[in-house]
Amino acid sequence: MTMLVKNLIHALGSRNVNEANDAAEAFTELSHFPADLIIVDYHMQPLDGLDFVRLVRTGSDSPNPYVPIIMLTGHTEMSKVMEARDAGVNEFLAKPISARSLYSRIQKIISQPREFVKTRTYFGPDRRRVVKKWDGTERRKNAPSPATAAAAATEAASEAASGAAPSGEAGGGGEEAGLSQDELDALFD
């Protein structure tokens, strides 16, 4: 997969492409190679793609916590998508990838850059892609912490995606269903 991605990047016009065998090597490489974009696989060893994204975003020795990150994976279950989003990826791309799908993610990162948000539990691109007008009462003053709210939302989304009954109820079970690229796009748009 690495060679395919590298060839696609070259075909799109980039000449300076560095690759790494694992997340630790990639993080070290960032101090020598000022990347304009990172494309990372979700499933790596010994550190996985999520750990790598967290290192880039929040590591005290991160050379560029603002660098755009695209995560590639064949694991498109809702819980994994939410974990990647919450770790700070800019875009999420399901395997198998195509030149068109990779190009569209890169173009979106360039043409529609998102501001970064820093809270006590999150640092990364603003996860809100659509600004919705709100005329109601502000209720956030007494809202649960972002971590508590995110955990509850992730659990509910995971249960909904897997067909499981809400916590404490019987039903559901089995493997979590993967999302299509169109469903992933809707989550990230």
Question: What pLDDT, on the 0 to 100 scale, is given for residue 44?
Answer: 86
- Please indicate whether residue 143 or residue 186 has the higher confidence score (pLDDT): 186
Alpha-carbon distance 80 to 78, whole Å? 5
Mean pLDDT of 61-71: 96
Question: What pLDDT, on the 0 to 100 scale, is given for residue 171?
Answer: 41
149 Cβ contact list (under 8 Å, min separation 6): 143
> At 97, which helix (H) or strand (E)?
none
For residue 133, CA distances in Å to 81, 130, 139, 147, 150 come to: 26, 10, 15, 24, 21
Mean pLDDT of 169-178: 56
Side by side, the strands of the sheet bearing 91-94 are 38-41, 69-73, 91-94
What's the mean pLDDT when you consider all of the chain?
Answer: 81
For 119-144, how does the pLDDT look when each residue is reduced to its tens digit (9 = 90+)? 999 999 998 767 677 777 766 555 55
Q: So where are the chain's domains?
A: 2-129
For 74-120, how does the pLDDT look when each residue is reduced to its tens digit (9 = 90+)? 989 999 999 999 999 999 999 999 889 999 999 999 999 999 999 99
Tell me the pTM.
Answer: 0.70
Q: Is the CB of residue 67 less than 8 Å from the CB of residue 37?
A: yes
Q: Which CATH code, of 3.40.50.2300, 3.40.50.620, 3.90.1150.10, 3.40.50.300, is assigned to 2-129?
A: 3.40.50.2300
102 Cβ contact list (under 8 Å, min separation 6): 5, 8, 9, 12, 39, 70, 93
Question: What pLDDT, on the 0 to 100 scale, is given for residue 65?
Answer: 96
Question: What pLDDT, on the 0 to 100 scale, is given for residue 34?
Answer: 87
Q: Do you find a cis peptide bond into 144, omega within 30 degrees of 0?
A: no
By CB atoms closer than 10 A (0-12, 13-18, 19+), residue 133 is exposed
